Amino acid sequence: MSLWDRVKGWFSGGSRGGGGQVPELAWISAEDNPWGVPVLDLRPVTLGMSSYSENPICAQNAVSFSGEDGTCFIEQVPAEASEWPVALRYRVADELADGVLFTPEVMEHKWALFFFRDRARVDRGRVLCVRSWTRTVQAVAEGTLDGEQLVLDTLRGTIVSDARAEAQARALDFLIRSHALDEIYPAPIEGMEAAPQTAALTCFSLWGNRALYATHHPLPDDPPDDPLRTISLLHIAVARGDLEAIAAQLDRGVSPELRGRDGLTPVHWACAAERWQEVLRLLLERGASVDARSLQGATPLMNAIQARSLEEARFLLGHGADPRAADRRGFTSTHRAAEMGYLEFLELLLEHGADPRVAAEGHTPRSLAEKKGEKAIVERIDRWIASQ
């Protein structure tokens, strides 16, 4: 079970403040939370406040990251010339490719994070920490890709005003965990524990609504359970339908089956691209599997059916997609078509060799269709079974 799931089990949803006053905040004892130290519940503030800026440029910047790939920040250097030693470790799944670790979607998201490898030393990489409201690189964390880990050893610039290496390291760790990994994790508030309302406002100003809890106590230095993944430059090129950029990323050795932060491969993303046929054809020509698997084991064909794209389903089946492929729970494309009542898709799958008798978690395509009241699907499956 992930830490996110464990925390949701420990805590209920947050309350919302109002009336312009900072609400009273509660400390949660070490025995009553997953981290084993007292934590301050910030949610009445960080989930109850909205961000705004009287500066129209800042307001525009804060929500300007849709589709951003981060390459425009590579040459930026932090305004603060400080350098801090850090020792932070993060698991890496498959390959950590150049791309997006986190981009803000609302004004209450205060940071964007990008990862890029060092061109001179491919075993070295950098995490760019960008303040979203100003679109400036606040800090750069550098480290080594060591097998299945990213080991960060140096931070250039500053994330918080506290002039101690330990404080900078804790802030960086929180930033990566809470943003890049979507982990619920206590924000650092050393020196502010005696003034919880001030601590909460400071956390909201610095971290926005990604800070739900905070503590001044040290936390274990074990790496997070979940691995770091990017939305790679290849994924982004695919989404843009940029065939030249796709080819360039493939030439650099990025796998066409690399899974991104959302668990999907570029092949899955291609199905949503405007020039999807050209993009898919290029990826398949360059070695991608037409049955590339998401983290949940879903194939592009399964996604095409759920998106009700008959043309894409025909294309994928025509290029060898397996209609009998099952996801990690055992469900097939036929389960999806039957449950959603997509008779045309069911016919197409049967034409290409699908078997509607396969059961997953006690459900067959027929039983799912029957439960949903899809009589035409049930009758078609019955006719298919009778013909065997």
Calpha distance 37→40 (Å, rounded): 10
Which residue would you say has higher pLDDT here, 89 or 15? Answer: 89
Architecture label for domain 290-388: Alpha Horseshoe (1.25)
Q: Does residue 309 surpass a pLDDT of 90?
A: yes
Which residues does residue 129 pair with via DSSP β-bridges, in sequence order?
113, 139
Q: How far is CA 53 from CA 9, 56, 76, in A?
A: 36, 7, 24
Express each pLDDT in 116-160 by its tens digit.
999 888 899 999 999 999 999 999 999 999 889 999 999 999 999
Give the pLDDT score at 205. Answer: 94
Topology given in CATH for the domain delimited by 232-288: 1.25.40
- Say yes or no to pLDDT of 56 above 80: yes
How far, in Å, are 22, 69, 150, 209, 214 from residue 46 at the CA level? 10, 28, 30, 5, 11
% of the chain surpassing 70 pLDDT: 95
Report the candidate in 241, 288, 282 with the shortest Cα–Cα distance to residue 265. 288
Q: Confidence band (pLDDT; 50, 70, 90) for 337?
A: very high
pLDDT in tens, 152-201: 999 999 999 988 999 999 999 999 999 999 999 999 998 888 999 999 99
Question: Residue 11 — pLDDT band, cuts 50, 70, 90?
Answer: very low
Residues forming CATH 1.25.40.20 domain(s) in the chain: 232-288, 290-388
Residue 248 · residue 216 · CB < 8 Å:
no
Contacts of residue 250, defined as CB under 8 A and 6 or more positions apart, other chains included, come to 234, 256, 286
- Res 9 pLDDT > 50: no
Has residue 34 got a pLDDT over 60? yes
Structure tokens given for 7? 């925390």
Span 365-373, mean pLDDT? Answer: 96
When the pLDDT of each residue in the chain is averaged and rounded to a whole number, the result is 92
Whether residue 17 is predicted with pLDDT greater than 50 in this model: the reply is no
The pLDDT, as a whole number, for residue 348 is 98
Q: Which residue has the higher pLDDT, 222 or 29?
A: 29
